[in-house]
Structure 1
Amino acid sequence: MDMATQRIEPPASSPRDPRRERRRRIIRNIIIAIVAIPALIWLVLYITKGRFLKGPFETIVGRMTNREVKVGGDFQLYFAPLRIKFYAERFTIANPAWATQPYLFRGERIDTRIAPLSLIFGKRRLYWLDLVNGAVDLEWNRGHTANTWTFSDKKGGKPLEFPRIDEVTVRGTTVRYRDPRMRLLADLKIDDIRSTDARIGKAVGVEGTGRLRETPFRLTAQLLSPDATANRGENKLVARAWAANNVIDVSGTLPSIADIENVPLATRARGRDASELLGIIGVVMPQTRRYAVKAQMVKDGDVYRFTRMTGTVGRSDVSGLLTVTNGDRVHLESTIATRNLDIIDAASIIGYNPDIVETKGVVAAAAATGAGPQKLIPDSDLPVEKLRAFDADLKWTIRTLKSKRVPISNIDMTLALKDGRLALSPLTFAMARGNVATDIVFDTRKRPSAVSYDVRLAPTPMGQLLAGWGVTEAGTSGTIKGRIELAGRGDSFADSLATSAGRIAFVMPKGSLTTRNVQLAELDIGTFVQKMFAGQLKEPVSINCGLIGFTVRGGIAAADPILIDTRKNVIIGRGGFSFRTEAIDLAVRADAKKFSVFSGQSPVGLNGHFAAPGMSVISPELVGRAGAALGLAIVATPVAGVLAFVDVGDAKSAACGPVLQGETAAGQRTRGGEKRDDVGRGTTAKDEKGEQKPGKEQKKKFLGIF
């Protein structure tokens, strides 16, 4: 057969594989089922609106949140068409058992569309929300370890987060917030909100009342850029609160409506008394005059940081930073700087009302604290229980104290309060080119409070120190140094000083002093008159050494000793003063070393009280001498009358060693080494015969500093 004409037969067809066909049918049926079942479910839900899911919804969501969930009216849950529609009337979510209110959320009606995938991935998103008469209760437990809006006990108290909402309509919404640790309760009402395409179109207002600790407050706030609020955009917040005669303004930009963590907020506060402001959170500070301050506040958990703080308190400026930690115990940490502190504003530091000091004087301010008439030492008790409720650390520097008489500058104060122990240590300042260091401790853990005072004055020029009291700086080269160390018991300055014991001593090394008062104190009338007519009253008085010392027992300070050795005289003082009554009873006498005519040889009395000291130049002794002079002048000649005022000049010079060492009266000696018998012995007590009782001698140096 010819190959060209050969017929080619087609191959026989192979039979179909039954197993492959079966697999195909199964895959097809599965695909149909995958498409049909959701479609059927969607269809059933769409037709029924998912109302039959009301019971399962309450059960499943209740188990997931560990709360009771109830829908008291109509209920709908279905896809419409690709968004989850949730509709519920009289919808409630219960609070945990420890909460003070039964429901976390109550709503007369809630209608919303939810993005399905947002329930699984990322932040939850609501396409739109319509809420009518919603009420939200937000609470922390006492341990601050759980809150009502965190449904998992294992996760503790998470920050409050809002979902992203594109369009919203809210009417009649209220929010209640309670924090037992902060002792804060707030009831807020939110203005009605309507938005389209995430644009609300007007400011959203919030107003309400509440109580912080024991202080009621009123609050108003606005979101000035609310178009992005529902969409979790930036929100410009402006809020104002009124509490305890204070007005507090807060403004800033929030990343979301409820997110203030680590967000810088501009804060301003003003009022009649800054102590009322801090008193809101249970912090005690001295009373102040009107204040106005501003700062930047950042909240970080329980810590509130106020930085860039500037403002005024009274007529004084303040700047610095403040950190408030609101833990189990409130803790304040502050660093403050002041360029100029008015002395009237400073009056509050020791317990005076500065407004009374300015208008009525120090005596009236002391009386307002409970001190008796004509007293200066404030007698208001420390708020002991409140001081035990918080801790504080303060660092305060002051460049200048504005005062007419007291030349004080460069004040550096450190205050520490821990568990009721208040320590002002150290408090240092410059005074008339000298330095003063002070340590004061009020330990309220002991009842009554144990109080200690330690004041140390470095060598200071007397001319500048006493210039406000008539001492002439030119020609005055004398200096003074000293120490006051006292310890007492009491909850006020007055009580602690009235029970105090210790030592007061001021030492004057060799120098000169130019003042009329020295001539009067020496009461060398002849020299005084001579200088007055010669125009030489400002000629300096030469001081070899001097000591003004007091021993304090039971609040009574007795001269121990007062001994000043000048070129011409030895000045001696007796008596003392009382911290109990604030009475002064001192007598200062000048005995001449050389012959002097018209020398009084009689004490100059210092009397009165701290608030109104007096000087009695014409003492009974001097009156007696004047009477004798008059008698001699009558029975003899006028020249004989002068003899009554003649000082033969037998005073013994003081050994300056014990004086400069601050020794007590028992340790004083004459220049020849003899024990002095003309100085006080550390007591003003009298025996039955009216004679001065000898005090306990102290042979050691005063606190080892002289």
Structure 2
Amino acid sequence: MTTRDAQPSDQAGKRFFPLRRPWRIARNVVVGVFATLFLIWLVLYVTKGRFLKHPFESIAGKAAGRTVTVRGDFQLYFDPFQIKFYAEGLTVANPAWATRPNLFEAKKIDTRIAPLSLIFGKRRFYWLDLAGGAADLEWNAAHTTNTWTFADTGGKPFEMPRIDRATVAGTTLRYLDARMRLLADLQIDTINAVDKKIGKAVGLHGTGQIRETPFRVVAQLLSPDATVNNGENKLTLRAWAANNVIDVAGTLPSLTDVENVPLQTRARGRNLADLLGIIDVALPNTRGYSLHAQLVKDGVDYRFTHLAGRFGDSDLAGRLTIKDGERLRLDSVLATRSLDIVDAAPFIGYNPDIVAANGAVAAAAATGAGPQRVLPDATLPVAEMQGFDAGLKWTIRDVKSRNVPISNVDLTLSLDRGRLALSPLMFAMARGNVAADLIFNTRVRPAADSYDIRLSPTPMGTLLAGYGVDQSGTTGTVKGRIQLAGRGDTIHDSLANAGGRIAFIIPAGTFWTRNVQLSELDIGTFVQKMFEHKLKEPVQINCGLIAFTVRDGIAAADPILIDTKKNVMLGRGGFSFKNESLDMAFRADGKKFSLFSAQSPVGINGTFAKPGIDVISPQLIGRAGVGLGLGIVASPVAAILAFVDVGDAKSAACGPILAGAHAQAMRTTKGKQRDDVGNGTTAKSESGKESPADKRKQKKKFLGIF
């Protein structure tokens, strides 16, 4: 071969030599990398990566913004291509403000992790074996942050990784909400997941305390497979607290997110007051109840809508909002179709079960009142009333009452820092209307209470029909007002020192009593003794006023004056709110001459709980004695003179009566001031002793206290 022939070959070799060199470099680099990786893998595999314990604690701690510690054995290596992670005594610290040192700790974690999932941010665990895990979830006092949201890393909450197969045993969960004063310590049942599926519901159970009330809870996660894949969290929960059973069911976007999520709730128990008492809300006692509603939490508001159910024999519907802010507040709008009057007994301090079984007197005694008392001595829950605020609008269509027909109740309630106002309270009663404003102000001690009750013109026949009065022949009406103010933390105490006025006005009409008995006071007998005939026709009433002036809990007639077609009915005496005693006397003076008229007072005595009639008075016995004396001295005809009514009763002017005026304003039809209606004082003091002034007045009258 010549030199010329060899030149092309040499040039070709020179031309390709530079291309072979980079390839060799790349090959050597790749081989070096793989060799290095293999060496690293080999070192990790041989050493199990135990020497990475402290670097792991540092890197993981910086990533979480928390201190991460492994107290026991640690392994981190490829086995062979999956990342094996094993740690004993792993802890993740809580923020410094938390009450527990660790957010999470576990006796043992043994898992296999997909390497590429860590690179692309979608963490995938091939399998997980977790033993003795304990999580601590806690809100700060201001409810602005929690322990499971890593504020130092962008404020992102912990997200559950994807797990193909798992065994989780001995896991506990603690939840603390300082603002709600809620603490729960829960144990999670053992979880076994295969092929990314747990299959059956995961249960948990435990105990806790909300405010001062302990509770027990059992719950189930019904969608565990969806939960571990960051899907829906369908759960049910049942809790027992203060003799109540509470059920909650719903679907959460995450296990720790309940904001603006509709939850179905149901509660039942023997006393609704016990349920709300858990959050320090004072409510009158109730009989057994069962209620259900939809609950939505929106910040500090807990809204219960579509509320419906029963308490006792009464129904209830509406909505309720509980605002758990700086000051607890309840706002509700409620409606009842039918309210059993027994279920309303707690509103004045009576135990409804005692009322239903043994009556109002027994219920009053149970509040601390003395025997034969009806005014309750149940004390206002002053501390609770000053601890929360409330607003209530409650309408009631019908009230099931044995005696008085009541309907169309419209109640507005306001509680503002210890001042409770039922204003206005309106309802229809016996085809008449009642409007009331009741104030109980516990801001001052003892409470300052006021009662203002107005009765619009109401048919007496309808009003008394429930007590056995035959309505036929009764066309009269009655209207009135009660204005009282006193100091005390019970209804009895506030009335026992109250002052004010009570007045009931009776315009023209007729009144007929037959087969009547009212609270063991035989009104039929009373009226018959007053008007001294068989009541074969209705009493024709021109006008009437039954009024009392109340001073320091003692009510004195001021006046009692009823003018009828044939008689003038007068009354004296009064009653006491202190001991609930009655001491009144009534007399009917005829306007026309009449024979055989006893003309002696008929007394009402006893107590509010057991009033009685005294138809045999000393005056009647005295007149009988006079008649007997005349019969002996003169003749039997003369004895009749003792029972003659000369018919000198002075007809009353109806103007002052219909105006509800005091006794000193009463006049005869001729315009003269009446001297037979008293001056608004009782004939006897509370001790039962007659005052000197009363004795002087009685000496001027032939008929004793009149």
1:198–1:228 Cα contact (<8 Å) kept: no
> Counterparts in 2 of 1:316-331, with a 5 A limit?
316-331=314-329
CA shift, 1:493, in A, is 0.7
Paired residues for 1:281-296 under 5 Å:
281-296=279-294
Percent sequence identity is 63
Q: Which of 310, 332, 335 is the equivalent residue of 2:308?
A: 310
Report what 1:528 is aligned to: 533
Distance in 2, Cα, partners of 1:624 & 1:149: 93
RMSD, aligned α-carbons = 3.3
Contact 2:531–2:567 (8 Å) recurs in 1: no
Alignment partner of 1:691: what SS? helix
**Contact residue 217 and residue 238 of structure 2 kept, 8 A:** yes
Q: Is the 8 A contact 1:291 1:312 kept in 2?
A: yes
Tell me by how many angstroms 1:241 deviates. Answer: 1.3
- Aligned partner of 1:340 in structure 2 is 338
Deviates more, 1:288-297 or 1:131-140: 288-297
Q: Distance in 1 between matches of 2:351 and 2:249?
A: 33
Partner in structure 2 of residue 555 of structure 1 = 553
Q: Which residue of 1 aligns with 2:107?
A: 108
What SS does structure 2 have at the residue aligned with 1:100? Answer: coil
1:76 is matched with which residue?
75
Q: Distance in 1 between matches of 2:152 and 2:391?
A: 36
Counterpart Cα distance in 2 of 1:239 and 1:637: 95
Q: Which residue of 2 aligns with 1:570?
A: 568
Post-superposition offset of 1:322: 2.0
The AA in structure 1 aligned to 2:90 is: F
Deviations 1:420-443 (A, max 9, x none): 111111111100111111111111
Asked whether the 8 Å contact 2:424–2:437 carries over to 1, the reply is: yes
Distance 1:573 1:102, change over 3 A: same
Q: Does the C-alpha gap of structure 1 residues 153 and 281 become closer, same or farther in structure 2, counting only changes over 3 Å?
A: farther
Distance 1:558 1:135, change over 3 A: same
Q: Is the 8 A contact 1:391 1:417 kept in 2?
A: yes
| Whole-Å separation in 1 of the counterparts to 2:28 and 2:298 | 55
Stretch deviating more after TM superposition (44-53 or 598-607)? 44-53
Query: Residue 409 of structure 2 is aligned with which of 405, 408, 411?
Result: 411
Match runs of 1:41-120 below 5 Å: 43=41, 47=45, 49-78=48-77, 85-114=84-113
Give the equivalent residue in structure 1 for 2:178. 180
More off after superposition, 491-500 vs 260-269? 260-269
Equivalent residue in structure 2 for 1:420, among 418, 421, 427: 418
Could you tell me whether the CA contact under 8 Å between 1:333 and 1:393 is conserved in 2? yes
Amino acid at match of 2:212: E
8 Å CA contact retained: 2:529, 2:615: no
The answer for unaligned runs of 5 or more in structure 2 is 1-7, 515-521, 698-706
Deviations 1:133-192 (A, max 9, x none): 001112222222232222327978x87754444433211001111122212111110000
| Matching residue's letter, 1:111 | D
Aligned to 1:691: 694
Quick one: which amino acid aligns to residue 561 of structure 1? Answer: P
Per mean C-alpha deviation after superposition, the further-off stretch among 671-680 and 637-646 is 637-646
Structure-1-length-normalised TM-score:
0.88
Secondary structure of the residue aligned to 1:106 is strand
Question: For 2:439 and 2:654, how far apart are their aligned partners in 1?
Answer: 34
Structure 2 match to 1:277: 275
The question of whether the paired residues in 1 share the 8 Å contact of 2:529 and 2:602 is answered with: no
Look up the SS of the partner of 1:550 in the other structure. Answer: strand
Deviates more, 1:462-471 or 1:257-266: 257-266
Letter in 2 for 1:629: G
TM-score by length of 2: 0.88
Report the Cα offset of residue 114 of structure 1.
4.9
Change (3 A) 1:162 1:499: farther
Give the CA deviation at 1:29: 9.9
Matches within 5 A, 1:436-515: 436-515=434-513
C-alpha distance in 1 between matches for 2:540 and 2:478: 14
Q: What one-letter code is carried by the residue in structure 2 that aligns with 1:655?
A: A
Match of 1:229, SS state, is: helix
- Distance in 2 between residues matched to 1:676 and 1:160, nearest whole Å: 89
Are 1:171 and 2:169 matched, yes or no? yes
Equivalent residue runs for 1:341-356 within 5 Å:
341-356=339-354
Q: SS of the counterpart of 2:603?
A: strand
Q: CA deviation at 1:214?
A: 1.4
After TM superposition, list the pairs within 5 Å mapping 1:217-232 onto structure 2: 217-232=215-230
Deviates more, 1:306-315 or 1:230-239: 230-239
Asked if the contact 1:87–1:112 (Cα under 8 Å) also holds between the matched residues in 2, the reply is yes
Q: Which amino acid aligns with 1:140?
A: W
| Correspondence for 2:136 | 137
How far the C-alpha of 1:605 sits from its partner, in A, is 0.6
The residue identity in structure 2 corresponding to 1:476 is T
Q: Is the 8 A contact 2:530 2:588 kept in 1?
A: no
| Equivalences for residues 363-402 of structure 1 within 5 A | 363-402=361-400
Amino acid aligned to 2:659: Q
Structure 2 Cα separation of the partners of residues 27 and 464 of structure 1: 113
Alpha-carbon contact 2:322-2:331 (below 8 Å) kept: yes
Match of 1:150 in 2: 149
Q: Which whole-Å deviations, capped at 9, do the CAs of 1:82-126 have from their partners, x for residues lacking one? A: 765543211011223332222221101123455667768777654
CA distance in 2 between counterparts of 1:437 and 1:134 reads 63
What secondary structure is seen at the aligned counterpart in 2 of 1:385?
helix
Distance 1:548 1:122 in 2: 87
CA distance in structure 1 between the partners assigned to 2:296 and 2:145 by the alignment: 23
Amino acid at match of 2:61: G
Pick from 573, 576, 597 the counterpart of residue 599 of structure 1.
597
**How far apart, CA to CA, are the structure 2 residues paired with 1:399 and 1:30?**
93
Task: Report the Cα offset of residue 495 of structure 1.
Answer: 0.9
User: What is the distance in 2 between the residues matched to 1:551 and 1:221?
Assistant: 62
The letter of the residue matching 1:178 is L
Inter-partner Cα distance in structure 2 for 1:26 and 1:491? 100
- Tell me if structure 2 keeps the 8 A contact 1:591–1:651: yes
**Matches of 1:34 and 1:667, distance apart in 2:** 121
- Secondary structure of the 2:291 match is strand
In the alignment, structure 1 segments of 5+ residues that lack a partner are: 1-9, 695-706
Rounded Cα–Cα distance in structure 2 between residues aligned with 1:580 and 1:602: 29
- Contact 2:530–2:587 at 8 Å: present in 1 too? no
Q: Which residue of 1 aligns with 2:194?
A: 196
C-alpha distance 503-688 of structure 1, shift in aligned 2 (>3 A): closer
Equivalent position to 1:243, from 241, 244, 267? 241
Number of aligned residue pairs: 675
- 1:682 aligned to which of 676, 680, 699: 680
Return the offset for 1:444. 1.0
- C-alpha separation in 2, matches of 1:381 and 1:173: 47
Q: Secondary structure at the match of 1:663?
A: coil
Is the 8 Å Cα contact of residues 160 and 258 (structure 1) preserved in structure 2?
no
* Alpha-carbon distance in 2 for matches of 1:68, 1:627: 107
